[in-house]
Amino acid sequence: MALSTQGFCITFMASPDQIIVRPAREEDVEAIVAFSAALALETEGRQLDVPRLREGTLTLLNTPERGVFLVAALPQGASQHIVGQLMITYEWSDWRNAVFWWIQSVYVDPTWRRRGVFRRMHQAVMQEARARADVCGVRLYVDKDNPVAHTIYERLGLSRSTYEIYESDFVLPPKISKER
């Protein structure tokens, strides 16, 4: 399942500049890699292997059936400055005969936080997802030690699931939880 790039172009005023939410392009790779590395360090204390991260980002950008990155960008002359990102991947639901879109890798530049950047990205995702018959819902996971994100997601109307995530990661070592 590949996500069309047609439905994602939402703009809004972000005092005073205009922010655009759009699918990421290959020229955005360095900003996405920098944001993803900052996200891992900020939320999990992890130093990611940057060449591996760049390759993974490029793979997603060039393989739309795996998912899509969206970016929030500020126009700067002929170019744009990326101020936020999120990634959407797909999970098939046999119960619903459709896919869930998983929102992942959410990051907003610290200087642009609390200005509605993620809200606009989320609105773009929800608008496109609701317009598609092959999408049955939107999910995201958040680190249990990130109460700020929990509050933001709940304010946007997302509800806590009854599921917990378990994993066997073959690349990164387990994160040490603050509760342990």
| Phi (first) and psi of residue 35, to 5 degrees | -65, -40
CATH number, domain of 125, equals 3.40.630.30
In a domain, 56, yes or no: yes
Give pLDDT, residue 94.
97
In a domain, 88, yes or no: yes
- Tell me which residues of the chain have a pLDDT lower than 50: 10-16, 180
Tokens representing 100? 């869930």
In a domain, 122, yes or no: yes
In a domain, 83, yes or no: yes
In a domain, 151, yes or no: yes
B/e letters for 77-88, b = 16+ CB within 10 Å, e = fewer, are: eeebebbbbbbb
In a domain, 107, yes or no: yes
Number of domains in the chain: 1
Give pLDDT, residue 65.
96
Instruction: Note down the domain range covering 94.
Output: 10-155
Give pLDDT, residue 6.
53
What is the distance in angstroms between the CA of the first residue and the CA of the last residue of the chain? 39
The stretches of the chain forming alpha helices (DSSP H) are: 29-44, 50-62, 117-130, 147-155
Give pLDDT, residue 15.
44
pTM of structure: 0.83
In a domain, 69, yes or no: yes
